[in-house]
Amino acid sequence: MTAFDFSGLDFAVRRDIPEAYSAYWDTLSAPGNWWTGSQRVAIADASREALSCEFCVLRKQSLSPYGVDGTHKNSGPLPDRVVDAVHRIITDQNRITQTFVDDNAANGLSKEAYVELVGIVVTVFSIDEFHRALGIPLQPLPEPKLGEPSFERPGALVDDMGFVPTISAAGASGKYADLWSADAAPNVVRALSLVPDAVRGWKLIAGAQYLSLQGMQNFVQDDNRSINRMQMELIAGRVSSVNECFY
């Protein structure tokens, strides 16, 4: 397993953070539900390239994302449509539409594969942003593991939110009972549930960087956090506003 090590910094980093990052890196390198290990690592690499993509800069400045022609920076093996989806999530996510997701699904990037891609991009980006905030180099991406995707697709899917099917609020049972509790099924967690392992990966990192689902019930002070819940939510709200997050 890849080991994240923050011991050389001038301040302490909680042990659970590098542990969670290392565990996710191990998962990232393995075959997923719809992508191989090599493809998953390539998606992570493309998420890093998006921040230096000149075409993304031009498109972000355009009134419409379809108002300019160009080619994404792409030094990896992924098809252009996949790279476009990755780059949009990083640089222009608030203009992703149902039409965009449906068009991808009709042209080779299924909704299942798209959801797994989203899970990889947002989780790797969260880990990378932690490094950027501390002013330290990004962790090298892991070596891919061999194997084929499982192509697992859960049942009990509904189309009651977002642009893709999700497990119903009451449907996280059996092998999916760990996704959320019966009395708490927030949409932000359900959003990736077409690919349950994407939810698990996201929860692992969100639980370390922010709060676990159980920890969200504590509105005062988590003993494992140096700031209280009100301070955490003030920061979270400000970051969400800057990032134009509709949640």
DSSP symbols for the chain: ------TTSSS---THHHHHHHHHHHHHTS--SSS-HHHHHHHHHHHHHGGG-HHHHHHHHSSSTTSS-------SSS-HHHHHHHHHHHH-GGG--HHHHHHHHHTT--HHHHHHHHHHHHHHHHHHHHHHHHT-PPPPPPPPPP--------SSEE-SSSSS-EE-TT---GGGTTSSBTTB--HHHHTTTTSHHHHHHHHHHHHHHS--TTGGG--S--TT-SS-HHHHHHHHHHHHHHTT---
Confidence (pTM): 0.94
Q: How many residues does the chain have?
A: 247
Arithmetic mean of pLDDT, 34-63:
97
Per-residue pLDDT tens over the stretch 82-107: 999 999 999 999 899 999 999 999 99
pLDDT at position 1: 66
pLDDT at position 222: 76
pLDDT at position 54: 97
pLDDT at position 247: 61
Q: Is the pLDDT of residue 47 over 90?
A: yes
Q: Is the pLDDT of residue 116 over 70?
A: yes
Per-residue pLDDT tens over the stretch 49-59: 999 999 999 99
- For residue 67, what pLDDT band results from cuts at 50, 70 and 90? very high
Per-residue pLDDT tens over the stretch 130-171: 999 999 999 999 999 999 999 999 988 999 988 999 999 988
Per-residue pLDDT tens over the stretch 170-226: 889 999 999 998 777 888 889 999 999 999 999 999 999 988 877 777 777 777 888
Arithmetic mean of pLDDT, 117-128:
98
pLDDT at position 217: 76
Per-residue pLDDT tens over the stretch 9-26: 998 999 999 999 999 999
> Where in the chain are the domains?
16-213
